[in-house]
A and B are shown apart, each in its own frame.
Chain A
Amino acid sequence: MIDLHEGEQIVLVKRRYWLPIAAESFTFLLIALMPWGILYGLNLLPSDIEGFVRNNMSAFYFLACAWLLVVWTSFFVAWTNYHLDVFIVTSERIIDIDQVGLFARDVAEARLENIQDVRIETIGVLASIINFGNIHIQSAGATKEFTAQHIHKPQEIRGAITKLRRAEQPPRTPSL
């Protein structure tokens, strides 16, 4: 779990858009089905190989299951990399976690009062239609710029930051 300060609450959690991981999942599905494809096209193989496989069907199914287990594990590694790559807005700060790989992780954070500028970038027809894009946040802290890519509805992050910052500021008294 992410360590939160006392009284701090998670306001918004944003991940990369699901379309790339869906495409990757479909690829994993095709790879997983390969042994059954071989089985389907068994009669296309040379007769001695076909005969060997037909005489050892249990061994073939065993290897197909082993293949499935490897693909299943690989899929979960890819999914974990996607799922843990996350942009979090809390009541006190923003946290940008880049899950580069299983053993490579980049975590940056900035307090809300240090945020100077929020910029949203939408490039391309597909991004405009589906409403996803990149968000760039300028900070006065140690990490100067935060970039979260391929975020669905990035304006929600900007909205949450604006709302939290307004809530932080004391109400203005009208000058006489």
Chain B
Amino acid sequence: MELDLSKPLELGLVAVFGLALGAFIVMGVILNYHWTRYETSISKIERIRLIYFGVGATIVGFMTLFLIKAIR
């Protein structure tokens, strides 16, 4: 596998990956702060975190697989 960033499609895909992952993590930190600070039930906070980060990580996993496949 050789990543050639001179190809516009590959460069674009890597940029999209970085932006989407960055936005997901930054928003996750902000949302987590809000849940921790303002939610009334601790068990609910844990469930919300699990759903948000669990599903998000699964989508990122698929993104990584398709990215590797696309730039091969």
Instruction: Judge whether A72 and B70 touch: CB under 8 Å.
Output: no
- Cβ of A69 < 8 Å from any Cβ of B? yes
B:11-60 near A, CB below 8 Å: 13, 16-17, 20-21, 23-24, 27-28, 30-31, 34-40, 42, 52, 55-56, 59-60
Instruction: Judge whether A88 and B56 touch: CB under 8 Å.
Output: no
Instruction: Judge whether A63 and B56 touch: CB under 8 Å.
Output: no
Per-residue contact bits, chain A 56-81, to B (CB 8 Å; 1 contact, 0 not): 10110111011011101100110010
Most chain A CB inside 10 Å of its own CB: which residue of B17, B20, B35, B39: B20
- Cβ of A2 < 8 Å from any Cβ of B? yes
The A interface is mostly helix, strand or loop, or mixed, namely helix
CA of A68 to CA of B42 in the docked complex: distance in angstroms?
28
List residues of chain B with CB under 8 Å of any chain A CB.
9, 13, 16-17, 20-21, 23-24, 27-28, 30-31, 34-40, 42, 52, 55-56, 59-60, 62-63, 66-67, 69-70
The 10 closest A-B pairs by CB, nearest first: A62-B66, A58-B70, A58-B69, A59-B70, A65-B63, A66-B20, A61-B66, A69-B59, A73-B27, A65-B62
